[in-house]
Structure 1
Amino acid sequence: MKMKVGIIGGTGFYDLVEGMEEISIQNEYGEAVVYKGIHADKEIYFLPRHGKHHDSLAHEINYRANMLALKELGIDHAISMCAVGSLNPDIPVGALALLDQFMDVTTNRTNTYSKYSVETTQPYCPNLRQNFLDAAEQLELSLTPTANYICVDGPRYETALEINVYKNWGMDVVGMTNGTEAALARELGIAYAVVTISTDLAAGTTDVPPDLDTHKNVVKDNQQTLKDLFLKTIELISENQPSIAHEAYNRAIAARRDKLNKLAETSK
């Protein structure tokens, strides 16, 4: 049986490899569309987070249906690409950065399956992160090795004051999707790692305001670089590669089971 790897991103990855097959997954949270293909003798499943037609804004995405769809497909390793605004001058427009930590300040979305508590000290899988770093080195690509991500609700962009506060908190990049995805991935026991591409400099750090067309053009201009990085990373991911995500999931399941068993005993 081939190893399965999930890829989450925008519309630019629909044709990550030739002949990808569209699959619709229905679960208790709704419908998710994925595209199945083969690369490096692995089954790969591309999930367009914003929907098949990229018609859902960040706050409208059905994150729970999306992430559970990957789990139901038997995927326990997933890699992701996110477009972000940069707060760090060392991560300019067009630069790639590997997320190390996230902070979630969203207030208007559901970011849990509400079934158990799971540890997220390191929210991104160290082994998958290393796969990204090794792939970038082999391809001679520049990849900032660590970055702090702050997740905001959207759909509006941030004020200059908000960005200044986030910078003082130690944030490097800002986005509207990844904190939610990372939290749900950990609850499902999916090893997860993320590369971001800076499509603009965040509000107040430049005289140029955030612009959707510029955002799209930066991703388009770097599309081949991103594809090369992700395909090489997929080649390096090993089926025998354990993850802290799997371990945290197993501990959470066991702790919840023990608690429910104790409650059942006391209610007799």
Structure 2
Amino acid sequence: MKIGIIGGTGFYNLVDDMKERTVTTEYGDAIVYEGEHAGKEIYFLPRHGKTHDSLAHQINYRANMMALKQLDIDHVIAMCAVGSLNPEIPVGKLALLDQFYDATTNRINTYDKYSVEITQPYCPDLNQTFKNAAETLDIDLVPKANYVCVDGPRYETALEIQLYKQWGMDVVGMTNATEAILARELGLAYAVVVISTDLAAGTTDVPPDLDTHKNVVKDNQEKIKELFLKTVELATDDKPSIAHEAYERALAARAEKLKKAQVTNA
């Protein structure tokens, strides 16, 4: 079984002797680090680039996700740092994403190939595997969180956060909805754990701070690694994910549409 892992630069040494590899796609190149754990091939992809030099709105999301697809990966787990709107997800707390709202307006988030169903954007089987891993390791993991994705690179205003809270959002970030959409268009089973690195604007007197954000991730790095490695160990591919099924339906619907168009034009 092959598993893709997307996260920040701190995961380069997720396991020993990971090898760097460049994957060329029609959308550009992506760097991945390949290794092995629990008898499975793992491929770590640093979403912000090898040296973490791309801001959220500058990431080549299409190249990143297509690179995983070209490696014949169909299960992907990811880590994101977020701001929390929910007091039950304080700084340093981990949560499992359940739904997202995409508030971005200035980025490409599709391959333009076909329409695909995404009622449940995150794979319930992988989510359960994360929960099982967290329970095994006695790691506190909030089981459901709603994520709102914004363009960045600026942080949000207090009014924006107030509105997102009224809409039922728990956390805010700048990357994940885009990844989730592209993953579904490629038929990749996808699940995400987030870590709260600050309290969102207006919910505290302390403004969002990049250094604090980095330090919270660093302080929790070993716990996150343990969770991801245990999830890899417990993961199975004994049945299709809802993502795989949605992808097959999308391909079939597109093929049928093209067939009808050919008949009409004949």
TM-score clears 0.5: yes
Aligned to 1:5: 3
Q: What is the distance in 1 between the residues matched to 2:113 and 2:204?
A: 43
- Aligned to 1:258, what secondary structure does the other structure show? helix
Aligned to 1:141: 139
Q: What is the distance in 2 between the residues matched to 1:228 and 1:26?
A: 30
* Matched-pair identity in %: 74
Q: Post-superposition shift, 1:154?
A: 0.1
Q: What is the distance in 1 between the residues matched to 2:42 and 2:139?
A: 23
Aligned to 1:41: 39
Q: Post-superposition shift, 1:237?
A: 0.6
Aligned to 1:247: 245
Q: What is the distance in 2 between the residues matched to 1:113 and 1:188?
A: 9
Q: Post-superposition shift, 1:240?
A: 1.3
Aligned to 1:181: 179
- Is 2:228 the counterpart of 1:230? yes
Q: What is the distance in 2 between the residues matched to 1:179 and 1:209?
A: 24
Q: For the Cα contact (< 8 Å) 1:39–1:235, is it kept in 2?
A: yes
- CA RMSD of the aligned region, Å? 0.4
Q: Post-superposition shift, 1:105?
A: 0.7
String of CA shifts for 1:238-263, please: whole Å, max 9, x gaps. Answer: 12142000000000000000000000
- Aligned to 1:130, what secondary structure does the other structure show? helix
Q: What is the distance in 2 between the residues matched to 1:27 and 1:190?
A: 17
Aligned to 2:264: 266
Q: What is the distance in 2 between the residues matched to 1:118 and 1:103?
A: 17
String of CA shifts for 1:92-128, please: whole Å, max 9, x gaps. Answer: 0000000000000100000000000000000000000
State how 1:134-213 maps to structure 2 within 5 Å. 134-213=132-211
Q: For the Cα contact (< 8 Å) 1:128–1:192, is it kept in 2?
A: yes
Moved over 6 A (4+): none
Q: Post-superposition shift, 1:267?
A: 0.1
Q: What is the distance in 1 between the residues matched to 2:151 and 2:110?
A: 15
- Aligned to 1:242, what secondary structure does the other structure show? coil
Structure 1 residue identity aligned to 2:137: L
Aligned to 1:87: 85
- Aligned to 2:190, what secondary structure does the other structure show? strand
Q: What is the distance in 2 between the residues matched to 1:189 and 1:264?
A: 26
Structure 2 residue identity aligned to 1:14: Y
Aligned to 2:26: 28
String of CA shifts for 1:152-177, please: whole Å, max 9, x gaps. Answer: 00000000000000000000000000
Q: What is the distance in 2 between the residues matched to 1:50 and 1:86?
A: 21
Could you tell me the TM-score, scaled by structure 2's length? 1.00
Q: What is the distance in 1 between the residues matched to 2:167 and 2:66?
A: 32
Q: Post-superposition shift, 1:21?
A: 0.3
Q: For the Cα contact (< 8 Å) 1:127–1:241, is it kept in 2?
A: no
- Aligned to 1:189, what secondary structure does the other structure show? coil
- Aligned to 1:124, what secondary structure does the other structure show? coil
Aligned to 2:64: 66
- Aligned to 2:53, what secondary structure does the other structure show? coil
Could you tell me the TM-score, scaled by structure 1's length? 0.99
Gaps of 5+ in 2: none
Q: What is the distance in 2 between the residues matched to 1:115 and 1:239?
A: 26
Q: What is the distance in 2 between the residues matched to 1:121 and 1:97?
A: 20
Q: What is the distance in 1 between the residues matched to 2:41 and 2:237?
A: 12
- Aligned to 1:141, what secondary structure does the other structure show? coil
Structure 2 residue identity aligned to 1:113: Y
Q: Post-superposition shift, 1:231?
A: 0.2
Structure 2 residue identity aligned to 1:25: V
Aligned to 1:101: 99
Q: What is the distance in 2 between the residues matched to 1:81 and 1:242?
A: 23
Q: What is the distance in 2 between the residues matched to 1:186 and 1:123?
A: 7
Aligned to 1:76: 74
